[in-house]
Structure 1
Amino acid sequence: MNVQNLRDNCPKLISYMETNGYSKTYVDRFKREIKKIISADSNEWSCYTDVYLEYTKTSQSPDYLRDKRTIIGAIEQFDVHGRYPDGRRRHELFERGSYPLLSSEFKFVIDLYCEVEKKRGKKKFTTVYTESHNASTFFLSLQQKGINCLGKTTEEAVLSIFMSPDETLLRSCSYKKNIAAVLKACIPYHPETCPRILAFLPALRETRKNIQYLTSKEIQKVKGVLTDGENLLTLRDKAIGMLALYTGLRGCDIAGLTLYAIDWDKDLFFIRQQKTKIPLELPLTAVVGNAIYDYLTSERPHTESRYIFVSQLKPYERLKNRSIGNVAGRIMKAAGIRQSKGDRKVFHIFRHHFATELLGNGVPQPVISRALGHTSPDSLESYLKADFPHLKECAISIEHFPVPKEVFFHE
């Protein structure tokens, strides 16, 4: 590992941190780490990953190792890419997660899976990422038990990752399914070991949480604050709220809307969904169009940014996805709803309302899926559980099953 560049330029990094308000304690930790790196035998480490792995041999404390990843990652960013700390986020050390710590064979399996799915082109990037990430943590758990290849994997080791000795469930069914997806994709290349490990995976029952939904009273309150000129909501927040409520757009897609996306003459707007990368065309209704127009003409600051929704303070940058989530919280606070601990306050609950409203009004499911930008019809299943008008039609009468009077409680 060549540390000459770090040795020559580390004073610039320290000077930058001292003049930009970093605490003396924090700067001293950087100094100690840099000194350790540049004074080590050049053959001791081949990259910054090896520097971090050295600490994993002496400590298992998550907080301690997280701190080391942050500092070593920042030094790596400076040394390799010339990037200084920005004071706002943790610095990335190599690739995050379990993958960098895997043996060469386990890494090969993950790489093979990603390559297979890339060629197939049927799964979303986020799905491939989640499945490969879960498989990486699974393989890392095997490594920690002394197993560093597929051939040595035992049923006992696999089951211990999912179940504790007292048979308490440690991992979810979705975690198991993601691992299975990786192993199945690699069967043609490992026809003996992958099917064997698949057989070791435990049979787990899939459970789903009930999704919180907006009641009719809550919807009326939300609509009230979005159209009321007396509350403290800005025109920007109202326009964002209208988009979420009446189009079901994801927050990230609202944040990514540009001035070029709207065709005012045809009352349409076009986006390329950030989650699926698939184009989506939606009607621009009067209530949504008017809200956006009011914001653009009366409140939006003068800026060269082509994004519709920008920050209210200079340099007037596009709103981040996190900021969109904060808008949802402000709308619900203004409406006086969902203020208890555990209440769902993100914009996805508006998307859920949009879907269930269409379902309740008899709109065909394929039409709803297209409006929501779903790539799979199965994605609509979670919304069906809140389609109460049609669920009631499926209810079975209990008149033929007498219930004793004592079952009912009377005050």
Structure 2
Amino acid sequence: MDMSNLKLKQHLLMDYLSKVGYCANKQRSIEKCIELVLIKGSSSNITTYEDLFFQEVQEQGLTPESYRFKSLRRSLGQLKNFDLYGKYPDGNYTGFIYVTNGFDNLNDYYKSLAIYHLENGMCTGKRKNTVRIEYLCAILFYKHFQDNGAEVLEEATPKMICSFFHDGIKQIRGIGYLGHIRALMKILRLREPKQAEQADYILNFLPNIPKAYKNFEFLSKDESDCIRKYLENPDNTLSLKERTIGWLLYFYGLRGSDITAMRFDNIDWRKDIITLIQSKTDYPLTLPLNAVTGNSLFDYITTERAESDINTIFIPSKNPHTPYKKIAHIVMKIFKCAHVRDKGGCKGVRLFRHHFVTYLLSCGVECSVVSSLTGHMSPESLKFYADADHEHLKECALDISSYTVPFNLFDI
């Protein structure tokens, strides 16, 4: 393995990491990879970065799910791009050690069907991400047929179709997969008459899985008050970024994906409004920017946010040149520090959204107004929140005081 270029230019990479604000842990990770290459790269059985990676994985007993596996793959990939192509780390996927999604295990016939859906799935007006999910489901579905001996759709039996959802003892896939398979077959019907017949055959034998609705989790008034008091406390342990994200969740019930995708041009400081296109629905949403959230946003942007060429408002503190992806850890921190649900229970971004909707409904706000504030495309979406509107549900209760009931009935 030729290490001459890395020996000569390694200092340029380390200087770059320090200059653009990469955290000490990231710099140390790259530094360790440099040492690894310089020490073991001279071995006769190491001719590429890939050879070195797989040798380390085997020696250290790393699994693809482990953090160390992913960290080594990421850092070695960045080092390879710098050494061989002169590319500095920019937060984008390096393509090093590509992890297959199962597509490569399909035969050519099933590959063509999966690719057809990926290329034509948007013809019905679906979003690209939705089609991508259906494509991944198609890979699983066709791989299931292939593993059971059906090399083409004509060889698929009703038992094969049903066993994708039920293993004979329990249900292993639900209505979500069922919807994806139906969408898959409807697009396949457009390809040619012969495959339209095959698609209809599969549609006829898909199981009927009832849609189950669970009551939404929501924050009680006491829990909501605890979280608000913690966010208001100037001496709490939250960073400005964490506090700001907390306020966006608390006051607006925004989805996590919309918060992480929020850009500077989404904020109109003169008119005090937030405008964005929702990532889930592509539906526009306009919200008033209150003083608490606005001040917190301004403080974060002007005093804590590192310089970065990323256009989104929120960026990782450890790696400021990559987009922010998840806020779940911030939500968990808020719940933990506010001592909400210490004994267990649902904790997540959705709780804030559910609380936002149920609070507005309990205050008597009209459904059309609530829909406009949450960005729901249809007021029908609110009916799932009605079960948590206890104040109005009490008005529907029947008086049973005139009936004789056992004294211990309500102890059950």
TM over 0.5: yes
Aligned-pair distance for 1:267?
1.4
Aligned-pair distance for 1:160?
2.3
Gaps of 5+ in 2: 11-28, 52-62
- Separation of aligned partners in 2, 1:383 and 1:270: 25
Indicate the SS of the match to 1:129: helix
Residue 200 of structure 1 is matched in structure 2 by 205
Aligned-pair distance for 1:266?
1.3
Residue 5 of structure 1 is matched in structure 2 by none
Residue 385 of structure 1 is matched in structure 2 by 387
Deviations 1:107-149 (A, max 9, x none): 333333334431222x233322222222220110110111121
Deviations 1:208-262 (A, max 9, x none): 4443221110100111011122322233322221111111222232233333322
Residue 361 of structure 1 is matched in structure 2 by 363
Contact preservation (8 Å) 2:273, 2:287: yes
Change (3 A) 1:136 1:310: closer
Residue 124 of structure 1 is matched in structure 2 by 127
Query: What aligned pairs does 1:128-139 form with structure 2 within 5 A after superposition?
Result: 128-139=131-142
- Separation of aligned partners in 2, 1:136 and 1:177: 15
1:187 aligns with 2:198: no
Residue 58 of structure 2 is matched in structure 1 by none
Instruction: Report the more deviating stretch, 262-271 or 376-385.
Output: 376-385
Aligned-pair distance for 1:91?
5.8
Given the alignment, which residue of 158, 161, 164 partners 1:158?
161
Query: What aligned pairs does 1:51-200 form with structure 2 within 5 A after superposition?
Result: 96-121=100-125, 123-165=126-168, 167-189=169-191, 190-200=195-205
Query: What aligned pairs does 1:4-403 form with structure 2 within 5 A after superposition?
Result: 20-22=31-33, 96-121=100-125, 123-165=126-168, 167-189=169-191, 190-297=195-302, 299-301=303-305, 303=307, 307-312=312-317, 316-317=320-321, 320-322=324-326, 324-341=327-344, 343-375=345-377, 377=379, 379-395=381-397, 403=405
Aligned-pair distance for 1:390?
3.4
Deviations 1:182-212 (A, max 9, x none): 1123224322111111122222222244432
Q: RCO (CA 8 Å, sep 6+): is it higher in 1 or 2?
A: 2
Change (3 A) 1:132 1:13: farther
Contact preservation (8 Å) 2:120, 2:187: yes
Change (3 A) 1:138 1:290: same
**Matched residue type, 2:109:** E
- Separation of aligned partners in 2, 1:232 and 1:19: 30
Indicate the SS of the match to 2:271: coil
Residue 57 of structure 1 is matched in structure 2 by none
Indicate the SS of the match to 1:229: coil
Contact preservation (8 Å) 1:269, 1:283: yes
- Separation of aligned partners in 2, 1:13 and 1:175: 48
- Separation of aligned partners in 1, 2:313 and 2:254: 15
- Separation of aligned partners in 2, 1:357 and 1:20: 51
Indicate the SS of the match to 1:202: coil
- Separation of aligned partners in 2, 1:389 and 1:250: 26
Change (3 A) 1:225 1:179: same
Aligned alpha-carbon RMSD (Å): 4.5
- Separation of aligned partners in 2, 1:213 and 1:295: 29
Aligned residues: 370
Contact preservation (8 Å) 2:186, 2:199: yes
Indicate the SS of the match to 2:257: helix
- Separation of aligned partners in 1, 2:352 and 2:395: 25
Gaps of 5+ in 1: 1-7, 39-62
- Separation of aligned partners in 2, 1:87 and 1:126: 21
Indicate the SS of the match to 1:21: helix
Change (3 A) 1:269 1:276: same
- Separation of aligned partners in 2, 1:203 and 1:227: 50
Indicate the SS of the match to 1:282: strand
Indicate the SS of the match to 1:221: helix
Change (3 A) 1:409 1:20: closer
TM-score with structure 1 setting the length: 0.72
Change (3 A) 1:266 1:193: same
TM-score with structure 2 setting the length: 0.72
Aligned-pair distance for 1:395?
4.3
Deviations 1:60-112 (A, max 9, x none): xxx68998xx98xx89x969x95899999996655742333223332333333
Change (3 A) 1:136 1:278: same
Contact preservation (8 Å) 2:314, 2:324: no
Contact preservation (8 Å) 1:268, 1:281: yes
Aligned-pair distance for 1:32?
6.2
